[in-house]
A and B are shown apart, each in its own frame.
Chain A
């Protein structure tokens, strides 16, 4: 959709943040992390309540119930539409995994497919010494995407997960992390979509910087 530049700037003002609440875990810590940055996000439980602005797509839990929750609230269509429109969207943890195609969780779950690729479990056999889920602070090697402005290489972030994303295109991988014999995609992105496997809302100063950078990502180009 084309609109006047002035409108576009207003639409993607850094203060308009909508968090999708689709029943996948507790969103308190995500909301509070934005509040610490001086932004008061709106939580919505239906696509009908979305007005405009940046979208945060968090989530903890399993892929199967996550997708059900998204569909029941019309968020699957909303995410497709806004991704196509170039709205900045931040996926976190399960939210990131649901952006991909097939997930091996729950016997196979079709994700949103907004980023080509699949979601697979860590293979304990690859490193019998590690513990699953991957829980704790781990380092991220990023490619210098605007989401990581001011974040040093190998800064640590807080992870809790047992499955990981395997995007088809290297260009969709914005950062990688080592665990259980994998150098997995811990940050992915495609167009205005960005997503982290880690929890920026629980990752101290480095996580706060990622959230701040998300608020500064540009929306659709004016034309």
Chain B
């Protein structure tokens, strides 16, 4: 049976892991590779390294860190942040990343999804999308709008329509990050996650809002997510991956 995945996200700022709240205010919580190795040993199914300062500094993600992570980890990992084009994707994959996450770049230059999928296989191409609840309109019928540049810039695009288009163009997986719940720890955006998951036939990762194991159970069941991403729960709130998985298993969610 295909198992539900627990993914741990590390926001990397200047080589250190930080955790932000609604994209504002960040606290230092450790060395990314050391932390990732610890989460790997603790039962995380996958890791995401997000270089949150790379884009603003117009550079690719930290390839030395990617190479160190590849050496240390025996589970798949994704890198995001700072990927500017297919050449950056190639560099990250050659450094040892399994997948590359594209967010604002995919919205601004959607052809990069196709180029990446053709060159490296769609399983390497993760669409990261930040979505925000808005009043439903003819332009945004789902009531969720895509925002870019770290949530600062609305695009006028419907999240569900964008998910479908991105998959048609080559995205092999979608990480759905709900801006409204990110960092708030009161649960994932179940409706948004379910809308996206039901609209596409690629795996969907729910992101933004995890504060306790019940939140993961809810999004994996009612949100139809294939995987749930956590950050502060394991970085600063005292939960372990093993503990979260035991709670999920007790709830009847199939996990490793």
Chain A residue numbers with a CB within 8 Å of B227 are 136
A139 touches B96 (CB 8 A): no
A-B contact count (CB 8 A): 76
Which one, A25, A29, A199, A207, contacts B121 given CB within 8 A? A25
* Shortest Cβ distance from residue B57 to the other chain A in the assembled complex, whole angstroms: 26
* Shortest Cβ distance from residue A180 to the other chain B in the assembled complex, whole angstroms: 9
Chain B residue numbers with a CB within 8 Å of A139 are 1, 3
Query: Which segment of A3-11, A81-89, A104-112, A126-134 sits at the interface?
Result: A126-134
B2 touches A179 (CB 8 A): yes
A137-B121 in contact given A28-B95, A158-B76, A203-B74 (Cβ < 8 Å): no
A131 touches B202 (CB 8 A): yes
* Shortest Cβ distance from residue B37 to the other chain A in the assembled complex, whole angstroms: 11
**Minimum CB distance partner of A156 in chain B:** B256
* B98 part of interface (Cβ distance < 8 Å): yes
Q: How far is the CA of A25 from the CA of B94 in the complex (A)?
A: 9
A158-B75 in contact given A29-B70, A60-B121, A136-B203 (Cβ < 8 Å): yes
Interface flags, A7-44, vs B, CB<8A=1, else 0: 00000000000000000011011001101100000000
A32 touches B70 (CB 8 A): yes
* B201 part of interface (Cβ distance < 8 Å): yes
* Shortest Cβ distance from residue A60 to the other chain B in the assembled complex, whole angstroms: 6
A135 touches B1 (CB 8 A): no
* A178 part of interface (Cβ distance < 8 Å): yes
* B55 part of interface (Cβ distance < 8 Å): no
A160-B123 in contact given A137-B45, A205-B74 (Cβ < 8 Å): yes
A132 touches B201 (CB 8 A): yes
Interface flags, A143-158, vs B, CB<8A=1, else 0: 0000000000000101
* Shortest Cβ distance from residue B249 to the other chain A in the assembled complex, whole angstroms: 12
Q: How many residues of B contact A (CB 8 A)?
A: 28
Interface flags, B75-101, vs A, CB<8A=1, else 0: 110000000000000000111101000
Chain B residue numbers with a CB within 8 Å of A135 are 123, 172-173, 203
Which one, A124, A137, A160, A205, contacts B5 given CB within 8 A? A137
Q: How large is the interface on A (under 10, 10 to 19, 20 to 34, 35 or more residues)?
A: 20 to 34
Chain B residue numbers with a CB within 8 Å of A213 are none
Chain B residue numbers with a CB within 8 Å of A204 are 40, 74-75, 256
* B71 part of interface (Cβ distance < 8 Å): yes
**Minimum CB distance partner of A202 in chain B:** B76
* A201 part of interface (Cβ distance < 8 Å): yes
* Shortest Cβ distance from residue A59 to the other chain B in the assembled complex, whole angstroms: 11
* B11 part of interface (Cβ distance < 8 Å): no
Chain A residue numbers with a CB within 8 Å of B121 are 25, 60-61
* Shortest Cβ distance from residue A153 to the other chain B in the assembled complex, whole angstroms: 13
B3 touches A138 (CB 8 A): yes
B3 touches A26 (CB 8 A): no
* Shortest Cβ distance from residue B226 to the other chain A in the assembled complex, whole angstroms: 7
B106-145 CB contacts (< 8 Å) to partner A = 120-123
B172 touches A32 (CB 8 A): no
Chain A residue numbers with a CB within 8 Å of B74 are 33, 36, 201-205, 207-208
Q: How far is the CA of A133 from the CA of B171 in the complex (A)?
A: 12
A26 touches B256 (CB 8 A): no
Chain A residue numbers with a CB within 8 Å of B201 are 124, 131-132
B123 touches A28 (CB 8 A): no
* Shortest Cβ distance from residue B164 to the other chain A in the assembled complex, whole angstroms: 14
* Shortest Cβ distance from residue B101 to the other chain A in the assembled complex, whole angstroms: 15
Which one, A33, A178, A201, A205, contacts B1 given CB within 8 A? A178
**Minimum CB distance partner of A200 in chain B:** B74
B residues lining the A interface (CB < 8 Å): 1-3, 5, 40, 45, 70-71, 74-76, 93-96, 98, 120-123, 172-173, 201-203, 226-227, 256
Beyond contacts A26-B96, A136-B45, A156-B256: 8 other A-B pairs, Cβ-Cβ < 8 A, are A36-B71, A130-B2, A133-B123, A135-B173, A139-B3, A202-B76, A203-B74, A205-B74
8 contacts between A and B (CB under 8 A): A25-B121, A28-B94, A29-B96, A131-B201, A135-B123, A135-B172, A137-B3, A160-B123
